[in-house]
Amino acid sequence: MGCFLCTGESSMDRKMERKNKNNINNDRRRRDNHSQQVQDTPRSNPRDKIVKEDSKVVNHSDMEHTTNDVPDSSNSSCDGDTKDVKARKFTFSELVAATQNFKDEYFLGEGGFGKVYKGHLQDTGEVVAIKQLDRNGCQGIREFIVEVLTLGTADHPNLVKLVGYCAEGEQRLLVYEYMSHGSLEDHLHDLRPNVKRLDWNTRMMIAAGAAKGLEYLHDKMKPPIISRDLKSSNILLGDGYHPKLSDFGLAKVGPSGDQTHVSTRVMGTYGYCAPDYAMTGQLTFKSDIYSFGVCLLEIITGRRAIDNRRCAAEQNLVAWAKPLFRDRKKFHQMADPALEGQYPVRGLYQALAIAAMCVQEQPNMRPVIAHIVTALNYLASQIYDPNIHPGKNPASRRGKNEEEECRHQAY
């Protein structure tokens, strides 16, 4: 997924679209009158995923004293002061040496922040992943600082470790622990040749671990954090496919006290963004729950959140799944054909029930993360052994045939 303004396709979104069309002239007049202000509104350029920052250079002293670049810093202990940040400050020359001047063979991938390289720290020998900010990309200085302040103070086995950062001259780089198995997205949708597909037990273990990471952000961090960009490409897998959440450049401090939500510009990734948040700009912890539900559906079905290669009725994962949720006899149609029927039927039903609750259109109908963790921990503990429960579901082959037919129709 690339960088997009968060939008949706639900009935709530269609209502909002009609409302926006009726008020477009008023919106234009307001923008003309306030052209010098940054508007905190759900409407923005769809090419932007984040609020574009000015081109000023932020050095270490800026990191230690700025409050304006850190969202909601007035409500948190993360006020731009790095005294509590555990991450190491690197010089640019150290990271050049670690990557042999960002050698092509060390290139791992590229996202909204910039290019990512594998590196070896010369003084410790540690293998790391180094992310270099693209100044022309869709993320900027604000995301860099929020990432450092969020991960630099966090400590949980299901959150990726921020080893350090570099803010030297115009260079902005983030240094993470190296995750040997890449992202969940890689294993569900972009699997390399000769790499084994994830089995049912591994998928449930990944889902439970990701939920624990989100629980830490929502319930354990002080102040609590809303990820705002939870998706399969941001769930990284280490040794043994141990999952860790990553990429918190869009994170926001959640509501506290009598607050029910945080009003903010709508940002995220298309297909994962909660429809209520996309419509109103009111961010809550339940916004993350919706995104998690989409990820869980990806884990169960092997389908992408948005797949334009499919026929129109199946391009949006949630829209495709919702009619099937109503009929348990059709649940087997939702299992990833790559599983080849090797899954517990009861476990499939329970996992789909959790996903269905998470992607409810009304946020108050979605469960809290603690309840999701409890349910997924139970599912992950129920180890499925195909030797004890043999017999491939005949629907697995039919699912492949239906998928191939649908793809053919799309072209």
Is 53 a domain residue? no
Confidence of residue 401 (pLDDT cuts 50, 70, 90): low
- Of 322, 336, 331, the C-alpha closest to 349 is 331
Is the same domain home to 82 and 167?
Answer: yes
Considering the domain architecture, whether residues 267 and 403 belong to the same structural domain is answered as: yes
N-term to C-term CA, the chain? 21
Q: Alpha-carbon Rg of the chain, whole angstroms?
A: 22
Contact of 177 with 316, CB cutoff 8 Å: no
250 and 128 in a single domain? The answer is no
Range from 44-48, 230-234, 273-277 carrying the lowest mean pLDDT: 44-48
Binding residues for ATP: 131
Whether residue 14 lies inside any domain: the answer is no
DSSP state of 197: P
Q: In this structure, are 158 and 216 located in the same domain?
A: no
Please report which confidence band the pLDDT of residue 82 belongs to, taking 50, 70 and 90 as the band edges: low
Same-domain status, 169 and 283 = no
Indicate if 390 and 276 belong to the same structural domain: yes
**Residues 250, 268: contact at Cβ < 8 Å?**
yes
Q: Considering only 31-40, 238-247, 329-338, 368-377, which range has the smallest mean pLDDT?
A: 31-40
Does residue 13 lie within any of the structural domains?
no
**Average pLDDT, whole number, for the chain?**
80
**In this structure, what are the phi and psi dihedrals at residue 116, rounded to the nearest 5 degrees?**
-120, 135
Let me know: does 18 contact 250? Beta carbons within 8 Å: no
Same domain, 167 and 191: no
Above 60 in pLDDT, residue 235? yes
Name residues whose C-beta falls within 8 Å of residue 23's C-beta, 6 or more positions apart in sequence. none
97 Cα distance to chain centroid: 31
* CA-based nearest residue to 151, from 248, 268, 6, 30: 248
Mean pLDDT of 393-400: 49
230 and 83 in a common domain: no
Decide which of 131, 154, 177 is a domain's last residue.
177
Given a cut of 80, whether residue 38 has pLDDT beyond it is no
Domains identified in the chain, total number: 2
Domain boundary among 177, 195, 217: 177
Q: What is the rounded CA–CA span in Å between residue 402 and residue 411?
A: 15
Domain boundary at 177, 207, 238, which?
177
Which range, 6-15, 83-92, 117-126, has the best average confidence (pLDDT)?
Answer: 117-126
Q: What is the pLDDT of residues 44-78, one digit of tens each?
A: 333 333 333 333 333 444 444 333 333 343 333 33
pLDDT digits (tens, 9 = 90+) for 181-204: 999 999 999 888 888 899 999 999
The domain containing residue 352 runs over which residues? 184-410
Residue 198 lies in a domain: yes
Q: What is the CATH number of the domain that holds 223?
A: 1.10.510.10
For residue 360, the model assigns a pLDDT of 97
pLDDT in tens, 307-322: 999 999 999 999 999 9
Are residues 288 and 268 located together in one domain of the fold? yes
Which helix (H) or strand (E) segment is 204 a member of? helix 200-215
Residues annotated as catalytic (active site), given as ranges: 229
Tokens of 324: 């099937």
Domain-embedded: residue 49: no
Instruction: Indicate which CATH number applies to the domain containing 98.
Output: 3.30.200.20
Is 215 found in the same domain as 161? no
Helices (H), 254-329: 275-280, 285-301, 317-325
Domain match, 189 and 172 both: no
